[in-house]
Amino acid sequence: MLDRIEIKDLLVRTIIGINEDERNNRQDTLINVILFTDTRRAAETDDISDAVNYRTITKNIIDFVENSRFHLVEALAEEIAKCCMTDERVKRVRVSVEKPGALRFARSVGIAIERDRGDSLGGGS
């Protein structure tokens, strides 16, 4: 069984959507990530070099998302999964991306994906 590192409610502004306004104005995106890994070695040694550095992964996600331009949240979620898999110790990742306020009468709309290291993600496989 794998352990989980959870990055919750990461709010990043980016260009996302198909409408003209969405292509010209940054919008809030709410990102949640679960990194599946084995944390036992890091727990035993208490050494950051034995741990998945979630701070580095979070910074990479923020940098990528802020500088990206996608039409679909599906494409953005897939690329975020690739960012997470750059650390070989991450065996599986679950990513959800939401656009708050994108649908009238709904708090948000989004997608959730899960990818394994064996999937053809390209990043770090």
Which CATH architecture best describes the domain 3-116?
2-Layer Sandwich (3.30)
pLDDT digits (tens, 9 = 90+) for 69-118: 999 999 999 999 999 999 999 999 999 999 998 888 989 999 999 999 98
Active site residue 91: no
Which of 8, 59, 82, 99 is labelled catalytic?
99
pLDDT digits (tens, 9 = 90+) for 15-59: 999 999 999 999 999 999 999 999 999 999 999 999 999 999 999
pLDDT at 101: 84
Distance CA 97, CA 2 (A): 23
How far out from the chain centre does Cα 76 lie?
8
> Which ranges of the chain does DSSP label H, i.e. alpha helix?
20-24, 40-45, 54-66, 73-84
Evaluate if residue 125 carries a pLDDT over 70.
no
What residue segments make up the domains of the chain, in order of their start? Answer: 3-116
Residue 63 carries which DSSP code? H
Residue 26 carries which DSSP code? -
pTM of the model: 0.90
Burial string for 93-112 (b: 16+ CB within 10 Å, else e) reads bbbbbbbeebeeeeeeebbe
Structure confidence at residue 4 as a pLDDT band (50, 70, 90): very high
